[in-house]
Amino acid sequence: MNRIYLDNSATTPLCKAARAAMTNAMEHYGNPSSLHESGADAAARLKNDRAAVCAALGMRDATSGQLIFTGCGTEANTLAVCGVAAAKPKKGERTVLSTDSEHPSVENNLRRLEKEGYRVVRLSTRGGELDLSAAEPYLDSSLFMVTAMLVNNETGARYRVEELFRMAHEKNPRCLCHCDATQAFLKVPFSFDTLGADLLTVSAHKIGGPKGVGALALSRAVLSGKSLSPVLFGGGQEGGLRSGTENTVGIAGFAAAATAGAATFRADVEHMRALSKKLIAGLAGTEIRVNRPPVCAPHIVSLTMPDIKSETVLHFLSRAGIAVSSGSACSSHERDPSASLLAFGLSPRAADTTIRVSFSPQNTEEEVEKLLAALHSGLTDLIRIRH
């Protein structure tokens, strides 16, 4: 059976460019921190790969910021949220502004800060729109950090974080703004230099790179103000902010995937948007509800089934050779309804009957047609069984 993979928000297949770069990097096994020739070669390659990811992120002046390679997006988010909190004076600002639909790698760190006495304010994202008006009362001298995702990993909502960051910086220039751009990188147009974030998270395996590599981009303000403390301690790699020997093979794959994706970005976005439109059009007249935010990333479509549990639909589609998701892969084993879907406005029951389809540039219209055929036949069978 030819399997159809439509769970690209969870992870993506390794692209050809990344595979080739990683194969080549395996032949250059030196440690970038070593002083001999092999180490110097590894260090030079690491510098070039760092520059490639910076270029794909729109960091035009590489000296204006720094890119810290991490073991994954979760680690980058943890370094951003907890590292900023650890670097600030113990007295003074105690407020963090965020959203009610953050990825668990941000939300669980916010809960940790709350236990340490910080006040965390979560703005509503109901209907896929960030409630900027609700931020106004908290934009004062007590605010030291804003953390908000650019694209929601379950609904595809594209939040207006630029405005939130601008408001925060205008009211309190000392406030640092972090953006989890894991689902946005090479999916929606943005540039680190213009987004307004001081810290920004991306991950390799969401763009055709390997698992086990993430990155945190830092602004000049973070570096000059020494506003970030490490959460891993050791040999002082990555500018002293992320100790541990760099994963040079994985980083090479990350850089190659980022370069390849940046080169075909416009065409890829249009292709994924066309696939999403085809799927949505093909569901017209059915009992399946499309959860479509006002501004949406091109690759994610959230669908609520007519009182059929998402787990049942996933198993049905899997038997048909089609892989989709019920939401975030990082919380797929949780029993509680998705916090992101509840924040969007779905009831607990509706959230429990919602699936996520997520495309990559490699998916085809034929695959969408096969998904539609499976959903149509599945609705008939599953609704009959339900009754």
Q: How far apart are CA 315 and CA 356, in angstroms?
A: 14
| 178 bridge partner residues | 147, 199
| 158 bridge partner residues | 151
Catalytic residue among 15, 54, 175, 330, which? 330
Amino acid at 314: L
Q: How far apart are CA 250 and CA 21, in angstroms?
A: 9
Active site includes 175? no
Distances (CA, A) of 40 to 20, 76, 104, 196, 233: 22, 26, 38, 35, 23
16 near 257, Cβ under 8 Å? no
Q: How far apart are CA 169 and CA 317, in angstroms?
A: 47
Amino acid at 105: S
Q: How far apart are CA 359 and CA 5, in angstroms?
A: 8
Handedness of CA 36, 37, 38, 42 (dihedral sign): positive
> Which amino acids are annotated catalytic?
330
